[in-house]
Amino acid sequence: MVPTGPERTYRPAAASAYPRVRAPPLYRPRRDVACFFREFAMSVLDVAVTREACQPLPVLGRDVRVPLVTGGEVTYAALDYAASAPALQRVWDDVAGYAPYYGSVHRGAGYLSQLSTDLFEQSRRTVAEFLGCRPDDQVVFTRSTTDSLNLLAAVVPVTTQVFVFVTEHHASLLPWRGHDVTYLAAPGSPGEAVATLERALAARDPHGDALVCVTGASNVTGELWPVRQLAAAAHAHGARIVLDAAQLAPHHPVDITALDVDYVAFSGHKLYAPFGSGVLAGRPDWLSAAEPYLAGGGASRTVARRADGGIDVEWHTDAARHEAGSPNVIGAYAIASACRALTEAGFDALVAREQQLVDRVLTGLAAVEGVTVLSLFGPGSARVGVISFVVEGWNSSHLAAALSAEYGIGVRDGLFCAHPLVRTLLGGAPDEPAECGAPDTVPGERPLNAVRVSFGAGTPDEHVERFLGAVAELVRDGAKWEYRTEDGRCVAAG
């Protein structure tokens, strides 16, 4: 499939609805090669999208069929987007189009190295545009949201006071443990969240640095947090704020300038882009002043031997300072492709369609006896396509296992890496011991776990209807199969 001449055109093996990628000539004169690299980068990235806005975006795996324990096969219904969303077909095709030209970035004299460098840096600019970054903001490519927040925790001044709600995902909750941390109680409404933060910030030492860490949308309830108001409260008290946009960016536009946040972190694998990539974007001063997140090639500008036998190093002051080693070029390119695809599809249309799915799921679950939808802010709160619930008389792990084994529907169960929040929502104490998986419980005891259904731009209406029908049937008739706990997971027996 690799082109063999200057006029050949490369097409991915899978059928694509997008224009072909023109293969670059095998050689061009040095004087125009840089211009050509930029043109090729834009030809791959700038792809027009012509599809009905009301339809789900094409994703990989949409036609995969899976076996049922009761016999036969069905098309798999992927409803676990909050963990990892399926890759957009657009992203996969773009990556396949670039793959033959993949090379090591930065400082390479070879044709493919220079082309890959141009695509890598163009991807950085595309992400900055997607996030509405300020002119001096840095965009650092990482492995994930978790990696991004750990990077930020590593570069903030050591005396920084950190404020974080206990309702956060562990990726937002745990990286700050080496700092002076104030854990804020779970709020009962968006307004209470702002008031709680304002009280805590008013009581802090005003002479030191401070940082607030908050999610944009809960990975458990899907509820939207009042980010702009929290940012205003933080800045009014001389603090900075970082937005965990892992669950927000795939569902809503994220504008770092309009929201007035200082940093944004998100993951590619939740944004319909695979390959283990993430982003930390934001103000450059802390990033440029701190020691590199990883020491090694790429992060260093110069390295020299001292007269006393030691080593002196001068580090880069831009994003490269925290991107030591060979970067994940394909991952960065995949994120950029996803950013452009979502932007071109139109967030207004995507949000409107997803809200219809949210309303349908909430209405459908409300009609099933014994179902309780989990909510921190109460009924009617705005949310993205992430909904967790429990069913009276059911261990959530058993219900999730039956949905998979008997109906071919993939959801998630457990505590969703937000243990204090789920325990609070289920009526337990935030510090009550509990583990993910399928804990055995005595009759009448309510297990501390839940089922989470999540969906997005690639979800067909039919998958939502199948899910609602399956939940209603299981609650009414019970499971058709027997299940057992194995290595902490509930699985079909036999």
- DSSP-derived secondary structure letter, 100: G
Judged by DSSP in three states, 340 sits in: helix
Report d(CA 380, CA 378) in Å as an integer.
Answer: 6
Q: How big is the chain, counted in residues?
A: 494
> What are the residues facing 224 on neighbouring strands?
217
Please list, in sequence order, all residues whose beta carbon lies within 8 angstroms of the beta carbon of residue 459, skipping any fewer than 6 positions away: 56, 78, 79, 81, 357, 385
Torsion of Cα atoms, 397 then 403 then 405 then 411, to 10°: -70
Q: What kind and span of H or E run contains 312? A: strand 311-315
Report d(CA 463, CA 455) in Å as an integer.
Answer: 9
* 436 is an active site residue: no
- Two tokens at 136? 């001096």
Half-sphere exposure of residue 441: CA atoms within 13 angstroms, side-chain side: 18
Strand-strand pairing, 77-78 and 240-244: unpaired
Using alpha carbons only, how large is the chain's radius of gyration in Å? 24
Report d(CA 118, CA 44) in Å as an integer.
Answer: 12
Name the catalytic one among 213, 417, 436, 490.
417
Is residue 353 a contact partner of residue 54, using CB atoms and an 8 Å limit?
Answer: yes
Q: Which of 248, 261, 265, 263 is nearest to 147 (CA)?
A: 265
Q: Would you name the residues annotated as active-site residues? A: 417
